[in-house]
Amino acid sequence: MTTAHESPAAEVRDLHIAFGSGRDGTDVVRGVSLALHRGRVLALVGESGSGKSLTSLAFMGLLPAGARVASGSVRVEGADTGEFTPRQWRAVRGTRIAMVFQDPASALNPAFTVGWQIAEPFRRRLGDSRARAREKAVALMETVGIPEPERRYHAHPHEFSGGMRQRAVVAMALALEPAVLLADEPTTALDVTVQAQILRLLAERQRAAGLAMLLVSHDLGVVARLAQEVAVVYAGRIVEQGDLDTVYAAPAHPYTRGLMDAVPEAAAGEPRLRSIAGHPPDPGRVPDGCAFHPRCAFATARCTTERPLLRTLADGRRAACHHAESVLAGTAPGGPYGGSDL
Ligand code: ADP
Ligand code: MG
């Protein structure tokens, strides 16, 4: 059993990511700290636009043009990547930390056979012979559940179904046996039955290889099957974090509660029952106080002026809500901006 005091395989500390520069820059990720431990899955959950993808890309040194780490640190296996040259990043990516992206179609080059693309890291990074790389790629295709790998090695991406393409993408990410795997909405582009298969595959590979894994999703239902720990983000900040079982049993942040209400009944496979009214704020216009207060059923006057810090509650989980104890106890002050601040 891996424990939390073992040094993390990868971590970000007080990470701020900004677009633009200087005073005109807008922070879109505003002080996120996450530690990924060997053998464990951490889920990063929140609505679209909350900064999940940028946070995962920062782990890989792959922020899009215009975005930068404004402050804080990114560590991979203890090394502070702040000083990394592009060459050092290339050496780490794929071999120590790898990523599965949301859209399998864009992760594969339509011009090359799937097998060639899976074999490529063996040839280019390990210097394997063509025959050896092919052998390893076929074995890896089998591992990720691609049937008839010998034959499918020669197929092009368009000849694969969406699910098979995502299996190929998972194979490419795992080829060089990284210690850390980041999966950014790995099943969002797939239909529901295939989603479950890909999640099973990720769970199985994660356990088999003892990977430290970050699983990003806007859907709490998706991460429930894999993760031991969950961090909920809103407007670039973590609002609740803790053992998945603890948080799911009773969320302490009204936003987490809202996300959970939006999860369809798993067994019935129904469409979304209810989503949280309103929208997350634009990064340039985050409300004062608690960023969530305009959408929060429990908000009081205090929430409009005083930003709640992420603090540890009695049960060990952390939440950034002035009323977390009341939310947990089911006695939260009722009514937007009203109720008692005592
Ligand atoms: P998520 O993955 O949670 O949906 P992202 O990390 O992709 O969110 O983006 C967080 C915020 O950063 C977005 O709401 C958007 O405002 C901003 N952002 C993301 N990518 C860009 C970009 N290329 N240029 C400008 N702003 C961006
Ligand atoms: Mg995203």
Domains along the chain with CATH numbers: 10-227 (3.40.50.300), 250-339 (no CATH)
Looking at residue 332, its pLDDT comes to 63
Residue 76: closest CA among 53, 59, 90: 59
CB 77 within 8 A of CB 10: yes
- The arithmetic mean of pLDDT across residues 134-141, rounded, is 98
For residue 264, name the pLDDT band (cuts at 50, 70, 90). Answer: low
Ligand 1 pocket residue status of 234, Cβ below 6 Å: no
Question: What is d(CA 136, CA 143) in angstroms, rounded to the nearest whole number?
Answer: 10
Ligand 1 pocket residue status of 102, Cβ below 6 Å: no
| Ligand 1 closest atom vs CA 236 | 10
Looking at residue 337, its pLDDT comes to 62
Using the predicted structure, report yes or no on whether residue 289 has a pLDDT greater than 50. yes
Q: Is the pTM of this model over 0.85?
A: yes
- Polymer length of the chain: 342
Ligand 1 pocket residue status of 32, Cβ below 6 Å: no
- The arithmetic mean of pLDDT across residues 261-281, rounded, is 65
Beta-strand (E) ranges in the chain? 10-19, 26-36, 41-45, 67-76, 79-80, 97-100, 180-184, 212-217, 229-234, 237-243, 311-312, 318-319
Ligand 1 pocket residue status of 283, Cβ below 6 Å: yes
Q: How far is the CA of 335 from the centre of ligand 1 (A)?
A: 31
Using the predicted structure, report yes or no on whether residue 339 has a pLDDT greater than 80. no
12, 21, 28, best to mutate for ligand 1 pocket (most atoms within 8 Å of CB) = 28
Ligand 1 pocket residue status of 30, Cβ below 6 Å: no
Ligand 1 pocket residue status of 19, Cβ below 6 Å: yes
Identify the bridge partners of residue 300 per DSSP, sorted by sequence position.
Answer: 337
The model's pLDDT over 66-77, given as tens digits with 9 standing for 90+, comes to 999 999 999 999
- Give the rounded percent of residues in the chain with a pLDDT score beyond 90: 79
CB 153 within 8 A of CB 141: yes
Residue 195 tokens, joined: 């989603």
- The arithmetic mean of pLDDT across residues 18-41, rounded, is 91
Residue 333 tokens, joined: 């002050």
- The arithmetic mean of pLDDT across residues 22-47, rounded, is 92
Residue 195: half-sphere exposure toward Cβ, Cα within 13 Å:
16
What integer best gives the mean pLDDT of the chain? 91
For residue 272, name the pLDDT band (cuts at 50, 70, 90). Answer: very low
Compute, in degrees rounded to 10, the torsion defined by CA atoms 237, 239, 244, 248: -140
Using the predicted structure, report yes or no on whether residue 12 has a pLDDT greater than 70. yes
- The arithmetic mean of pLDDT across residues 277-300, rounded, is 93
Looking at residue 1, its pLDDT comes to 46
Looking at residue 168, its pLDDT comes to 97
Looking at residue 138, its pLDDT comes to 98
What Å distances lie between residue 183 and 18, 21, 110, 206, CA to CA? 22, 29, 22, 11
Helix axes 114-124, 162-174, angle to 10 degrees: 10
Comparing 3-17, 57-71, 141-155, 229-243, which segment has the lowest mean pLDDT? Answer: 3-17
- Cβ–Cβ contacts within 10 Å for residue 105, how many? 16
DSSP character at residue 316: S
Q: How far is the CA of 314 from the centre of ligand 2 (A)?
A: 32
Bridge-based pairing state of the strands 237-243 and 318-319: antiparallel
CA–centroid distance for 89 within its chain = 20
The model's pLDDT over 232-259, given as tens digits with 9 standing for 90+, comes to 999 999 999 999 999 999 999 999 999 9
Question: What is d(CA 192, CA 198) in angstroms, rounded to the nearest whole number?
Answer: 10
Using the predicted structure, report yes or no on whether residue 2 has a pLDDT greater than 80. no
Residues with CB under 5 A from ligand 2 (ion): 52-53
Compute, in degrees rounded to 10, the torsion defined by CA atoms 237, 216, 284, 24: 90
Ligand 1 pocket residue status of 56, Cβ below 6 Å: no
Using the predicted structure, report yes or no on whether residue 142 has a pLDDT greater than 70. yes
Our CA angle for 4, 42, 192, nearest 5°, is 155
Identify the bridge partners of residue 36 per DSSP, sorted by sequence position.
Answer: 10
Ligand 1 pocket residue status of 49, Cβ below 6 Å: yes
- The arithmetic mean of pLDDT across residues 54-78, rounded, is 96
CB 215 within 8 A of CB 41: yes
- Coil, strand, or helix at residue 228? coil
What Å distances lie between residue 133 and 98, 173, 201, CA to CA? 19, 15, 23
